[in-house]
Amino acid sequence: MSYPPDKLLYMRIVVLAGGIGGARFLRGLKQAAPDADITVIGNTGDDIHLFGLKVCPDLDTVMYTLGGGINEEQGWGRTDESFQVKEELAAYGVGPEWFGLGDRDFATHIVRTQMLGAGYPLSAVTEALCARWKPGVRLLPMSDDRVETHVAVDMDGERRAIHFQEYWVKLRASVEAQAIVPVGAEQAKPAPGVLEAIAEADVILFPPSNPVVSVGTILAVPGIREAIAEAGVPVVGLSPIVGDAPVRGMADKVLAAVGVESTASAVATHYGSGLLDGWLVDTVDAGAVAAVEAAGIRCRSVPLMMTDVDATAEMARQALVLAEEVRA
């Protein structure tokens, strides 16, 4: 199939991104549409304060991946990393030991925390950090306000709300999530530039990121969902579920917590036709196309495995092609 018309390459694209899946998709999108003006609205619900430092895993994963500093195997953290600071902290008995902050990564969190302490909002700090990494997209946090995703779990005979990172990294989502709560989201305002980017977009994409704790948390910031629904431009998503299982990560655990089946069609209807115009499912889920279309969402099946940048670029191109189909 030939590449989309030239005008697609120059369009303004807004992407709602989580961590690893979002970052890898963006790398493909940049290859598919090298001249597009891409604004990324990044999830900050995974943010955590550790050792007095503000850590923003999803913003950093996008910044490092697009800026060439990511640990490719892990998909998070820095390349050529060492862990001497973490070891020294552990020698003082200071944890948590379950969260792998490396020495190079620490520098990012120190700079971020210093700037926040000096009064700069997270959006300005992120812009300053990106001046070094030059990700080739405009990376905006969803909000400058503090939003923290907590997970309600039943442990040791009682219900507790724990930080998302504790649930994800320490517990590896091994305990059933009873509820997912983006604490602070209701009071949060979209960061400067977020609503403007949505209003000016030619196309809005939901990458194969976690629909609950990544894209869902961004949509929980009042004003963002409404702005997308009212933007009047194609909104196209790519399923993070292939063959009834998450492509990576443990999205099924948090989908269950919000009562959504781990299928490509269930995730599409969870977003809903009021938000989503188009949905790509993997070829193994071609049987789901009819159900998604019956729900009022244009659907196509294409290969959705981000095995390398070329395969990912082809996925991004298919999303843009579907967006044009929807627009027409």
Interacting residue ranges for ligand FO1, rule: CB under 6 A? 18-19, 46, 55, 57-58, 60-61, 76-77, 99-101, 105, 165, 168-169
Shortest gap between Cβ of 5 and ligand FO1 (angstroms)?
34
Is 139 strand, coil or helix?
strand
Question: Which residue lies nearest ligand FO1, judged by its C-beta?
Answer: 19
DSSP state of 45: T
Decide the pairing of beta strands 241-242 and 177-183: unpaired
117 token code pair = 């302490």
Q: Which is nearer to ligand FO1, 18 or 237 (CB)?
A: 18
Q: Which is nearer to ligand FO1, 35 or 87 (CB)?
A: 87
Nearer of residues 165 and 312 to ligand FO1, judged by Cβ = 165
Least spacing, CB of residue 240 vs ligand FO1, in Å: 12
Does residue 216 sit in helix, strand or coil?
helix
Nearer Cβ to ligand FO1 (83/120): 83
Instruction: Give the nearest distance from C-beta 109 to ligand FO1 in angstroms.
Output: 8
Structure tokens at 284: 């193994």
Residue 73 Cβ vs ligand FO1, minimum distance, rounded to whole Å? 12
> How many C-beta atoms surround the C-beta of residue 124 within 10 A?
15
Nearest approach in angstroms of CB 18 to ligand FO1 is: 5
Q: Which CB, 28 or 45, lies closer to ligand FO1?
A: 45
In sequence order, what are the residues at sequence separation of 6 or more whose Cβ sits closer than 8 angstroms to the Cβ of residue 107? none
Q: Within the chain, where are the H helices?
A: 6-9, 20-32, 57-67, 84-91, 103-117, 122-133, 164-165, 194-200, 215-219, 224-230, 251-257, 264-271, 289-294, 309-327
Query: Distance (Å, rounded) from C-alpha 320 to C-alpha 328?
Result: 12
Q: Please, what is the minimum distance in Å from the beta carbon of residue 78 to ligand FO1?
A: 9
Cβ-based nearer residue to ligand FO1, 18 or 190: 18
